[in-house]
């Protein structure tokens, strides 16, 4: 198998790259990498392997310089003769930002970039598999308090909290329209957070939100909402198993499902013993967020719900120093709170039937494996980059 992988330097793409490189069934892995020259491209790939001292086979893993945002990418890839025998494309690249200021970049990357890869893919003579890494969250913001199945979406009428999930929904529609059905594999991971092993996670994505809520202690969210969270290593393993499986379906959830979902309460209880010097957790309604924003701007009404928690407000001021920092943190955190409140779980029956992967460990059981990494997350930096 000759694979072309996008997103190789990202959270899931990096894990896919390392694990695919270990397989004897895989001959070559060509990785699309943004770089000025070959040396820089190789260094970026080497960083992925060096994180956990994995073997970097330079004859098997080959960087391919390019940018998803360049309009001529399809032509550049077509002109690259070393890619002529590619039979499998795994499109794992995406801009996952929740921030509205990046909406145009998210759309350019996740839709425009996808078109660039698809236009090249249609010219490949030996293409057997086009794996599109989407997200289970394409179901949007209107579906709450239920188990969600693969065949219910995509739905163009769905409302979305953030541009990211909208573009991933559009991506599935594009794939279905542009490529032969027998070549398509769409995988929809749920919330990817951390790693189930005692190892360094590849990214603070999602872990940042947990670290932030842990630091705040006064949390404006329903702590009992179900959260469908999986570790990064499980997501990568599932995709690889599906790639080589005799699949009965075109679309698969990669999720915790009903047997191993978690809640924010369980997650915070799990990491609580590592933070004995902090106040106890207190949960208030999400409707308190406007009050928090008003307080962070310098004023608060004495009769409002938030005023009852003055000890936590004093704690925030001592912990975060400036109210401006709290405004930044809550701006980054608010979309995550919206997702938590949805109380969604994604059915994974298809995955379990067509592979032997089994069920992932619940996030509240494995999250302590990442505790040292969690403690080092820069909350302000994470908010800015979210």
225-247 tens-digit pLDDT: 999 999 999 999 999 999 999 99
Residue 30 tokens read as 């060509």
pLDDT computed for residue 38 by the predictor: 96
pLDDT computed for residue 348 by the predictor: 98
Q: Measured between alpha carbons, how far is 319 from 67 in angstroms, rounded to an integer? A: 41
Q: Measured between alpha carbons, how far is 155 from 169 in angstroms, rounded to an integer? A: 8
- Residue ranges of the chain whose pLDDT lies below 50: none
pTM over 0.75: yes
Report which DSSP code applies to 356: S
251 forms beta bridges with: 186
**Parallel, antiparallel, or unpaired for β 88-91 and 262-263?**
unpaired
Q: What is the pLDDT of residues 256-304, one digit of tens each?
A: 999 999 999 999 999 999 999 999 999 999 999 999 999 998 877 777 8
Contacts of residue 138, Cβ cutoff 8 Å, sequence gap at least 6 = 153, 154, 158, 165, 168, 169, 172, 188
The domains of the chain, with CATH numbers, are: 2-204+227-261+344-361 (3.40.50.720)
Q: Measured between alpha carbons, how far is 152 from 78 in angstroms, rounded to an integer? A: 36
Long-range contacts of 37-42 (CB under 8 A, 24+ apart): 37/65, 38/63, 38/65, 41/65
pLDDT computed for residue 156 by the predictor: 92
Picking from 144, 141, 132, 135, the residue whose alpha carbon sits closest to that of residue 160 is 141
226 forms beta bridges with: 263
Taking a C-beta distance cutoff of 8 angstroms, is the pair 261, 361 a contact?
A: no
Give a three-class secondary structure readout of 81-123.
Answer: HHHCCCCEEEECCCCCCCCHHHHHHHHHHHHHHHHHHHHHHCC
Q: Measured between alpha carbons, how far is 91 from 244 in angstroms, rounded to an integer? A: 16
């Amino acid at each position: 198998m000759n694979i072309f992988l996008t997103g190789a330097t990202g959270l899931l793409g990096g894990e896919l790259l390392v694990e695919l490189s270990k397989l004897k069934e895989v001959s070559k892995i060509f990785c699309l990498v943004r770089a000025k020259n070959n040396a820089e491209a190789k260094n970026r790939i080497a960083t992925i392997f060096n994180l956990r001292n994995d073997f970097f086979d330079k004859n098997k893993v080959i960087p391919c310089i390019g940018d998803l945002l360049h309009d001529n990418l399809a032509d550049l890839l077509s002109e690259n003769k070393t890619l002529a025998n590619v039979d499998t494309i795994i499109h794992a690249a995406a801009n996952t930002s929740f921030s509205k200021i990046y909406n145009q970049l998210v759309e350019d990357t996740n839709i425009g970039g996808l078109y660039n890869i698809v236009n090249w893919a249609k010219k490949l003579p030996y293409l057997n598999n086009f794996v599109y890494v989407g997200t289970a969250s394409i179901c949007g913001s209107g579906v709450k308090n239920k188990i969600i199945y693969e065949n219910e979406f995509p739905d163009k009428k769905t409302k979305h909290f953030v541009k990211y999930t909208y573009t991933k929904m559009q991506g599935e529609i594009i794939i279905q329209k542009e490529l032969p059905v027998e070549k398509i594999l769409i995988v929809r991971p749920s919330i990817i957070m951390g790693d189930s092993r005692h190892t360094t996670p590849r990214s603070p994505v999602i872990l940042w939100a947990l670290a932030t809520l842990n630091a705040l202690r006064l949390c404006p969210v329903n702590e009992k909402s179900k959260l469908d969270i999986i570790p990064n290593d499980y997501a990568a393993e599932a995709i690889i198993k599906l790639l080589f499986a005799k699949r009965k379906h075109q679309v698969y959830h990669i999720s915790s499902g009903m047997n191993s979902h978690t809640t924010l309460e369980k997650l915070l209880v799990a990491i609580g013993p590592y933070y004995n010097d902090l106040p106890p957790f207190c949960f208030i309604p999400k409707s308190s967020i406007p009050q928090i924003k008003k307080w962070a701007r310098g004023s608060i009404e004495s009769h409002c719900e938030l005023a009852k928690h003055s000890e936590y407000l004093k704690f925030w001021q001592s912990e975060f120093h400036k109210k401006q920092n709290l405004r930044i943190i809550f701006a980054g955190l608010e979309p995550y709170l919206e997702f938590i409140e949805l109380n969604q779980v994604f059915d994974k029956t298809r995955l379990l039937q067509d592979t032997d992967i089994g069920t992932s460990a619940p996030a509240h059981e494995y999250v302590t494996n990442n505790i040292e990494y969690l403690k080092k997350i820069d909350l302000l930096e994470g908010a800015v980059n979210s």
